[in-house]
Amino acid sequence: MTVTKTSSNTYNLKVYIPKEIRSKMGIKGTHFVKRYKTRKEAKEAELDILTKIHQLENGENLVFSKDGNILFSDFYKHVWWDSYKAGQTTSTTKPPTQVTIDNTETVFRRHILPMFANFSIDFLNQNKQVVLNLMTAKAEEYANFKVIRSYVNSIFDWAEELEYIESNRLSKTIKRIKATKKIELQESKIEEELYLSSEELHEWFEAFKEDLDNDKISLKDYVLFFTTFILNDRKSESYALHWKNIDLDKAEINLKNALDKYKNLKSTKGNKKTIFSIPYYLVTLLSQWKIQQKQELAQFDIMQTPDQLVFTYIDTKGNVNSPLHVDYLNNKMNSVRRRHPRLKHATPHKLRHTGATLARQAGMSLEAISEALTHSDTITTKNYVNTSNVVPLSAGTLAYQHIQNK
């Protein structure tokens, strides 16, 4: 018997789920198990489960009635997911990018589904304490908890929108859960660990120059490191630079794009477009690299045009002139540090903090740094220590001049 009466006068449903369809039904074990108040409810649920098994075994798609008893995992997979990818579950004007979609799938698979998969939407909506307990525990172990909080709330908002539930009763409860792990990490950070001192930064430039002189790194890698620091931009924005974005005669760089992790061109964060005036020494380096790159590309019968990316490489599959992968600059910095173990640990993002901090110490205003970092406001900039479009002096340039004058 699949339905049995318990000692507490409830009814336990236990149905075997064939192995080949368990993942499609969101079942981890061998059986679907759930307790119901009445035999009628248990038998109705049994019929529903058996129907789903029959549908899946015959290659059919599951058809769900608009019932709050739908499992969280089923609602996510068969109702919310396609709507999310179409951009219908948020108020944004555009659907999410493929990078965002992939990241969202990872968050659900690793964090959200392990918490809620086998609960029904209605049960969770009616039992705030269960949700509160599970999500509070998650907030204590996962730093980027605000993403989880947003997606869970979106699930129940969409369930309300499509009338699976009368209303999202969890919204206020979910918003009250603090991102305790992130707060803990922020409080434990020592200010000095967020950026390099002027002496530590100087050692990094010396190490890169020494490795360039000793043929340990290429001119391209040296110029990439130098450009990223001087612009004080995000590394993805340096990766997206084309020669048409650089006017060597006017000593200007037009920063308006970035590369995503799939090497596709996208807008900069906040769709900011900024023209940077660059110092003569960066103009010189870029001019040298432009000549050398032209020669290197010619060996592969590739013509250097204004649409040519400034920084490319031969990838692991042997593809020539490939856009840089997301960790390219990180890897180059790590290799330099291995040869110079005295160097303080640094990343491209830490260089961005460093440029902003040293520029502030050298007297640059918070507003000017905010503009140079292409932040939308000074509140974000304060974490590092709309567009007039032209930045006459980047934070990186002032920081570099600061360490050269010491």
Name the more confident of 274 and 285.
285
Question: From its phi and psi, is residue 158 left (phi > 0), alpha (psi between -120 and 50) or beta?
Answer: alpha
Q: What is the pLDDT of residue 385?
A: 45
| Digit-coded pLDDT (tens) for 179-195 | 888 888 776 665 557 78
Highest mean pLDDT among 45-49, 323-327, 401-405: 323-327
Residues 144, 111 contacting (CB under 8 angstroms): no
Q: What is the SS3 string spanning the chain?
A: CCEEECCCCCEEEEEECCHHHHHHHCCCCCEEEEEECCHHHHHHHHHHHHHHHHHHHCCCCCCCCCCCCCEHHHHHHHHHHHHHHCCCCCCCCCCCCHHHHHHHHHHHHHHHHHHHCCCEHHHHHHCHHHHHHHHHHHHCCCCCHHHHHHHHHHHHHHHHHCCCCCCCCCHHHHHHCCCHHHHHHHHHCCHHHHCCCHHHHHHHHHHHHHHHHCCCCCHHHHHHHHHHHHHCCCHHHHHCCEHHHEECCCCEEEECEEECCCCCEEECHHHCCEEEECCHHHHHHHHHHHHHHHHHHHCCCCCCCCCCECCEECCCCCCCCEECCCCHHHHHHHHHHHHCCCCCCCCHHHHHHHHHHHHHHCCCCHHHHHHHCCCCCHHHHHHHCCCCCEECCCHHHHHHHHHHCC
pLDDT tens digits, one per residue of 214-247: 999 999 999 999 999 999 889 999 999 999 999 9
Mean pLDDT of 170-184: 89
Give the mean pLDDT of 54-59. 79
pLDDT in the model for residue 55: 79
Position 115 confidence tier, pLDDT thresholds 50, 70, 90: very high
Question: Which range (65-69, 130-134, 387-391) has the least confidence?
Answer: 387-391
Higher pLDDT, 292 or 197: 292
More confident residue, 181 or 202: 202
Average pLDDT over residues 350-378: 69
Does pLDDT of 32 surpass 50? yes
Position 281 pLDDT exceeds 80: yes
**Cα–Cα dist 36/128, whole Å:** 19
Residue 376 has what pLDDT?
A: 47
The pLDDT value recorded for residue 189 is 63
| Burial letters 95-106, b for 16+ CB under 10 A, else e | ebeeeeeeebee
CATH 1.10.443.10 fits 193-404, yes or no: yes
Instruction: Judge if pTM exceeds 0.75.
Output: no
Architecture of domain 66-188: Orthogonal Bundle (1.10)
pLDDT band at 50 (very low <50, low <70, confident <90, very high): confident
pLDDT of residue 360: 76
Average pLDDT across the chain, whole number: 86
Q: What is the pLDDT of residue 368?
A: 64
Of 19-23, 193-197, 313-317, 388-392, the least confident: 388-392
Residue % of the chain over a pLDDT of 90: 54
Tell me the percentage of the chain whose pLDDT exceeds 70.
Answer: 86
Q: Break the chain into its structural domains and give their ranges.
A: 1-63, 66-188, 193-404
| pLDDT tens digits for range 254-273 | 999 999 988 999 988 877 78
pLDDT digits over 319-360, tens only?
Answer: 999 999 999 999 999 999 999 999 999 999 999 888 888 877
Cα separation, 129 vs 78, whole angstroms:
26
Residues whose CB falls within 8 Å of the CB of residue 205, separated by 6 or more in sequence, listed in order: 400, 403
Q: What is the mean pLDDT of residues 303-310?
A: 97
Position 64 confidence tier, pLDDT thresholds 50, 70, 90: low
Q: For residue 286, what pLDDT band results from cuts at 50, 70 and 90?
A: very high
Please list, in sequence order, all residues whose beta carbon lies within 8 angstroms of the beta carbon of residue 48, skipping any fewer than 6 positions away.
none
pLDDT at 44: 83
